[in-house]
Structure 1
Amino acid sequence: MDKSSLFQIKRDIETCVGQKIQLKANKGRKKAFIREGILENTYPSIFVVKFENDYETTRRVSYSYTDILTKAVEIVICKDNRKIQVS
């Protein structure tokens, strides 16, 4: 792993805190989790995404920056009805 790549990913994600995102996470065996949520917070080695569902419950999920680097997680920022890929 290249530390400069991780640092760049972390910096890109930090600029998007509070924004709506579309997240795609690979769950293995050709299964994927695709949801829209809000990038809630960033920490030194993880970031937290808040998802709300139809039953008015909130779910917070954390992912590491290496998940993005290894392409296990893909994030698309929804900004002004445009989608911007983060990788």
Structure 2
Amino acid sequence: MANNSLLEIKRSLEPHVGAKVLLRANGGRRKTIERTGVLEETYPSVFIVKLDQEQHAFKRVSYSYADILTESVEVTVCNDEGQVRIEYLQQ
């Protein structure tokens, strides 16, 4: 069942490859890290975000789909119509 959930999250991210995204990640000890970048690629287990160069020291970050499932990472896609939040909704 968890595999199907991860596959659903991956499929919901795939159409947004190349789009600008906002990441909110759990940084530990009550810290939340916010980063902006472009969703660069989706792989079977992880997705890669190329970060904005002027704002961040790293060029790319990767997160697993399980991070979204466990709500450790929140991905918001910024497009022309507004913002779309990628999340897993349990049924």
Instruction: State whether TM-score is above 0.5.
Output: yes
Counterpart in 1 of 2:80? 80
Q: Distance in 1 between matches of 2:51 and 2:78?
A: 14
Counterpart in 2 of 1:41? 41
Counterpart in 2 of 1:60? 60
Q: Distance in 1 between matches of 2:58 and 2:21?
A: 15
- Change over 3 Å in CA distance of 1:55–1:36 after alignment to 2: closer
Name the SS of the counterpart of 1:54 in structure 2: coil
**Residue ranges of structure 2 left out of the alignment (5+ in a row):** none
Please say which of residues 54-63 and 36-45 is displaced more in the overlay.
54-63
**Residue ranges of structure 1 left out of the alignment (5+ in a row):** none
Q: Which stretches of structure 1, 4 residues or longer, exceed 3 Å deviation after superposition?
A: 55-58
Q: Distance in 2 between matches of 1:55 and 1:70?
A: 27
Q: Distance in 1 between matches of 2:56 and 2:26?
A: 25
TM-score, length of structure 1 as denominator length: 0.90
Q: Distance in 2 between matches of 1:81 and 1:50?
A: 22
Higher strand share: 1
Counterpart in 2 of 1:5? 5
Q: Distance in 2 between matches of 1:50 and 1:83?
A: 18
Q: Distance in 2 between matches of 1:21 and 1:84?
A: 9
Residue-pair matches, total: 87
What's the C-alpha RMSD, in Å, of the aligned pairs?
A: 1.9
- Change over 3 Å in CA distance of 1:55–1:64 after alignment to 2: closer
User: Percent identity among equivalent residues?
Assistant: 47
